[in-house]
Amino acid sequence: MRGALDIPLEGTRSEGYHVVVDVADPAGGDLPVERVFHYEHPGTGGRTVLRVPFTGGFQIDLQCRADDPPESFGTEQAVRRWLPRLVGEGCAHRVLWVSRYHFLRKVAGSFADPSGRVLLAGESAHLFPPFGARGMNSGIADAVAAAEAVSAACSEPSRGPAAVAGYAVARRSAALHNSEAAGAVRRAAIDRQSSERG
Ligand SMILES: Cc1cc2nc3c(=O)[nH]c(=O)nc-3n(C[C@H](O)[C@H](O)[C@H](O)COP(=O)(O)OP(=O)(O)OC[C@H]3O[C@@H](n4cnc5c(N)ncnc54)[C@H](O)[C@@H]3O)c2cc1C
C-alpha cells in the first residue's frame, strides 16, 4: 500500500538480529513468572537473553551479533542445542515456534496520502523494536484516531480534509516520539552491557 502511494518508510535497522523462541510450559514449571533480562548469558557465549512468560509457556529472545551464522543460532535445530543451557534439559522438546527478526525503527513519511483517502495505521505506518512494547499499543491508538477522523469526515464532509490531516500529523508525531523512546531503551541496554563488561 505504501509503495502504491509512494510513501517512504524512514529509519534504521539493527545490524545484529534476534532469535525468538516460544516454549510450552503448561504446568508452570520451575521458572518464576516474571520478565528476566539476562545480560551476557554464559550459556549463549555472552549474548543477552530476555525471557518473557505468557499463559502456558514463555518466550526466549536471544540477541545475536551481526556476524553470528543463523545456522548456529536461528534454526530450530540450533535452538535445540542452546536452549537447554538457558532453561534446562526438559524444555527442548516443547519448542512451539522459532523466528528471527531485526530491531527496526521506521516511520512512514506521511500517515495519509495527498488526497486524504488512505490513512496508514499500525505497522503499515511504523515499526518499532518490541522491547518498548510500543508496536501494538500505539497501533491501537492509531486505529482509534483514524476511526474518529473517518467518522468526522463522514458526518460532515467539509471537515474531512482537516480531520484526516490532523490524524496524519498527530499520529506521525506520536510515532516519532515512540521511535525515539524505543531507541533510548535499546541504547540503555547496550550502555549497560558495555559498562558491565568493563
Ligand atoms: C517478538 C515481538 C514481540 C512484541 N511484543 C509487543 C508488546 O509486548 N507490546 C506491543 O504493543 N507490541 C508488541 N509487538 C508488536 C506488535 O506485535 C505489532 O505492533 C502488532 O501486531 C502490529 O499490528 P498490526 O495490526 O498493525 O499489523 P499485523 O499484526 O501485521 O496485522 C496485519 C494483518 O494484515 C494482514 N494482511 C497483510 N497484507 C494483507 C492483504 N494484502 N490483504 C489482507 N490482509 C493482509 C496480515 O496477514 C495480518 O494479519 C511485538 C512484536 C514482536 C515481533
Q: What is the predicted pLDDT for the residue at 131?
A: 79
In Å, how far are 45, 51, 86, 158, 180 from 42, measured between CA atoms?
5, 15, 9, 63, 31
Q: How confident is the model at residue 195 (pLDDT cuts 50, 70, 90)?
A: low
CA–centroid distance, 123 to ligand 1, in Å, is 6
- In percent, the amount of the chain with pLDDT more than 70 equals 93
Least confident piece of the model among 31-40, 76-85, 96-105, 168-177 = 31-40
Shortest-distance Cα residue to atom 48 of ligand 1: 123
* CB-ligand 1 contact for 101 (6 Å cutoff): yes
Pocket test for ligand 1, best of 37, 107, 136, 186 (most atoms within 8 A of CB): 136
Inform me whether the pLDDT recorded for 40 exceeds 60.
Answer: yes
The mean-pLDDT minimum among 39-53, 122-136, 153-167, 175-189 falls in 175-189
Task: Domain 110-197: give its CATH superfamily.
Answer: FAD/NAD(P)-binding domain (3.50.50.60)
Measured CA to CA, the distance from residue 32 to residue 197 in angstroms comes to 27
Cα–Cα distance between 44 and 116 in angstroms, integer? 50
**CATH classification number, 15-103, choose in 3.40.50.620, 3.10.180.10, 3.10.620.30, 3.30.70.2450:** 3.30.70.2450
In CATH terms, are 15-103 and 110-197 the same topology? no
**For residue 32, is pLDDT > 90?**
no
Residue 50 CA to ligand 1 centre (angstroms): 20
Q: Ligand 1, residue 99: give the atom nearest the CA.
A: 1
123 lines ligand 1 (CB under 6 A): yes
Q: What is the pTM of this model?
A: 0.84
- Ligand 1 center–CA 175 separation, angstroms: 15
Atom of ligand 1 lying closest to residue 133 CA: 9
- DSSP character at residue 119: B
Give 28 or 182, the one with higher predicted confidence.
182
In the chain, pLDDT over 90 holds for what percent of residues?
A: 73
The mean per-residue pLDDT over the stretch 85-89 comes to 87
The whole-number average pLDDT for the span 120-136 is 92
Residue 99: the pLDDT is 96
Using pLDDT thresholds of 50, 70 and 90, give the confidence band for residue 26: confident
Domain ranges of the chain: 15-103, 110-197
Probe target for ligand 1 pocket from 22, 123, 137, with the most ligand atoms within 8 Å of CB: 123
- Identify the pLDDT of residue 130: 83
Average pLDDT, the chain: 90
- Cell 484526516 belongs to which residue? 164
Residue nearest to atom 19 of ligand 1 (CA): 135
Ligand 1 atom showing the smallest separation from residue 18 Cα:
1
Q: Which residue has its alpha carbon closest to ligand 1 atom 29?
A: 123
The alpha-carbon radius of gyration of the chain (Å, integer) is: 20
